[in-house]
């Protein structure tokens, strides 16, 4: 029995969907613990590309139990669409369960997300999916939960607790007409038909799986630098993607998590606003964007690209307690003659090895680079670490040394067979 948490170590989009998919082949249970459909996971199986936002990519394996934990905020419209999409693709969702405690994204959350963002002088660049406003209501204790979908009465009761406040806010502050109670109730009762049969005590499902000696993968969305506590606040999401978020987000004791694997791109990307020390606003950045197909799965926005930032990943190793790294998209660097790694920051003449908390400091930081030779060899068919070109091995070894964590997995393409397992996970 092994419980592994899989987290993003940068600003999201590290390739967690693919690594989850690879590990899910050996996992009995895959559980998402935070975020919502702001995430986007792309998984390539044979000639088919699957894009999922909410349902763990473990669903692509028959027999793997997939859970959406209580820490996730669920847009039921998106969940129903994803279930329909999987069914159309011939994939069963018989083993999908959703926590009855998970909070629902409501239409006013999406509208408020967009209106609030438009009013901010300091734009966060949210995905506009209603994620932040849904978490606000959760912590304000006025959220609508999955449990509330179980009957018309409970749904009406939950909506009545919150809608007058939302309508007042929308009408008086944003000059928006607001939402009609009956329309919301009918819309959500329609989703309930699909979703209520999937509701479960997902904490208990995980507990029983552990007791039966099963392998469990806890899947984080977004990344460490988007964590509301540990990320580049306020340019963050509204949940805890770090490994610590897995315990409350699923309902598992932190002492039951045996390994924490950090997924890390062989370079760095960021969507949305905020400082990015190793950003490349030049032809190399464009080359990485094109080769890495760095356009958002959820929003289609071009991602900002830059060199690998060891300061960020060193920090991610610390705040997540990483036990291993899964390095993704190594092949994107195949074309480069030389590759830089940001090993430290320079701030007003001072060398910083650790991530500063103050964004005003971070904004002024300049990257201190170490340049390494590229390999200029196609790595997409390489099957073992030993067969990688020497400069690629040296690059990976350098990254592991810089951040202080061993490499467990290397990925050289989107397909399942483009993955090297240096050390078994399950």
285-291: long-range contacts, CB 8 A cutoff, minimum separation 24: 287/335, 287/336, 288/332, 288/333, 291/332, 291/334, 291/335
Query: Does the footprint of ligand IMP cover residue 37 (CB under 6 A)?
Result: no
Which of 158, 192, 226, 372 touches ligand IMP (CB under 6 A)? 226
Which of 366, 353, 303 shows the shortest CA–CA distance to 14? 303
- The structure tokens listed for 124 are 């966060």
Q: Is 125 or 391 the residue whose CB approaches ligand IMP more closely? A: 125
Contact flags string 238-267 toward ligand IMP, x per CB under 6 A: x-----------------------------
Q: How far apart are CA 148 and CA 159, in angstroms?
A: 9
Only one of the segments 219-227, 287-295, 354-362, 378-386 lies at the binding site for ligand IMP (rule: CB under 6 A); that segment is 219-227
Is 87 strand, coil or helix? helix
Which single residue brings its beta carbon nearest to ligand IMP? 272
Q: Least Å distance between CB 82 and ligand IMP? A: 15
Q: Least Å distance between CB 136 and ligand IMP? A: 11
Is 208 strand, coil or helix? helix
Positive or negative torsion for Cα 135, 141, 146, 148: negative
**Cβ atoms of 133 and 73 closer than 8 Å:** no
Chain-centroid distance, C-alpha 193: 28
Residue 398 neighbours by CB under 8 Å, 6+ apart: 341, 370, 372
Query: Does the footprint of ligand IMP cover residue 237 (CB under 6 A)?
Result: yes
Only one of the segments 95-103, 233-241, 312-320, 347-355 lies at the binding site for ligand IMP (rule: CB under 6 A); that segment is 233-241
Only one of the segments 8-16, 57-65, 188-196, 310-318 lies at the binding site for ligand IMP (rule: CB under 6 A); that segment is 8-16
DSSP β-bridge partners for residue 327:
264, 410
Q: How far apart are CA 196 and CA 381, in angstroms?
A: 44
What is the 8-class DSSP label of residue 95?
T
Only one of the segments 7-15, 76-84, 93-101, 343-351 lies at the binding site for ligand IMP (rule: CB under 6 A); that segment is 7-15
Catalytic residue among 13, 21, 148, 227: 13
Q: Is 54 or 131 the residue whose CB approaches ligand IMP more closely? A: 131
Q: Between vectors from CA 203 to CA 202 and to CA 209, what angle results, nearest 5°?
A: 90
Contact flags string 105-134 toward ligand IMP, x per CB under 6 A: -------------------xxxx-x-xx--
Is residue 256 part of the annotated active site? The answer reads no
Catalytic residue among 21, 41, 113, 331: 41
Which of 198, 190, 185, 191 shows the shortest CA–CA distance to 80? 191
Q: Least Å distance between CB 96 and ligand IMP? A: 20
Q: Is 97 or 235 the residue whose CB approaches ligand IMP more closely? A: 235
**Cβ atoms of 134 and 143 closer than 8 Å:** yes
Q: Least Å distance between CB 245 and ligand IMP? A: 14
Query: Does the footprint of ligand IMP cover residue 38 (CB under 6 A)?
Result: yes
Is residue 148 part of the annotated active site? The answer reads no
**Cβ atoms of 219 and 56 closer than 8 Å:** yes
Catalytic residue numbers read: 13, 41
Residues that bind ligand IMP in the complex, under the rule CB under 6 A:
11-13, 38-40, 124-127, 129, 131-132, 221-222, 226, 235, 237-238, 271-272
């Amino acid at each position: 029995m092994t419980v592994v948490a899989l987290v993003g170590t940068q600003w999201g989009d590290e390739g967690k969907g693919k690594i989850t998919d690879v590990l899910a082949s050996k996992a009995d249970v895959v559980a998402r613990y935070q975020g919502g459909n702001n995430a986007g996971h792309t998984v390539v199986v044979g000639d088919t590309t699957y894009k999922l936002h909410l349902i763990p990519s473990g669903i692509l394996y028959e027999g793997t139990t997939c859970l959406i934990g209580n820490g996730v905020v669920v847009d039921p419209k998106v969940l129903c669409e994803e279930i329909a999409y999987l069914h159309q693709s011939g994939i069963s969702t018989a083993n999908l369960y959703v926590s009855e405690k998970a909070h629902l994204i409501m239409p006013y959350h999406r509208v408020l997300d967009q209106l609030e963002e438009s009013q901010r002088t300091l734009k966060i660049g949210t995905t506009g999916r209603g994620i932040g406003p849904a978490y606000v209501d959760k912590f304000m204790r006025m959220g609508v939960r999955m449990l509330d979908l179980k009957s018309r009465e409970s749904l009406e009761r939950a909506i009545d607790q919150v809608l007058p406040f939302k309508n007042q806010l929308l009408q008086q502050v944003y000059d928006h007409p607001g939402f009609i109670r009956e329309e919301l109730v009918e819309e959500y009762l329609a989703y309930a038909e699909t979703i209520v049969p999937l509701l479960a005590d997902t904490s208990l499902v995980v507990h029983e799986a552990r007791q039966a000696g099963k392998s469990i993968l806890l899947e984080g969305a977004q990344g460490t630098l988007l964590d509301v506590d540990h990320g580049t606040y306020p340019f963050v999401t509204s949940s805890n993607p770090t490994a610590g978020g897995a315990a409350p987000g699923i309902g598992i004791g932190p002492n039951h998590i045996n390994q924490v694997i950090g997924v890390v791109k062989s370079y760095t990307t960021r969507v949305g606003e905020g400082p990015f020390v190793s950003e490349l606003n030049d032809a190399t950045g464009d080359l990485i964007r094109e080769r890495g197909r760095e356009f958002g799965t959820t929003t289609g926005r071009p991602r900002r690209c830059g060199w690998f930032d060891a300061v960020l990943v060193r920090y991610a190793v610390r705040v997540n307690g990483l036990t291993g790294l899964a390095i993704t998209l190594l092949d994107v660097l195949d074309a480069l003659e030389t590759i830089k790694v940001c090993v430290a920051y320079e701030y007003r003449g001072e060398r910083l090895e650790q991530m500063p908390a103050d964004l005003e400091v971070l904004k002024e930081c300049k990257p201190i680079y170490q340049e390494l030779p590229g390999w200029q060899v196609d790595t997409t068919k390489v099957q073992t670490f030993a067969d990688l070109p020497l400069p690629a091995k040296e690059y990976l070894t350098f990254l592991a040394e810089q951040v202080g964590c061993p490499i467990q997995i290397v990925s050289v393409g989107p397909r399942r067979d483009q993955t090297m397992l240096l050390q078994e996970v399950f």
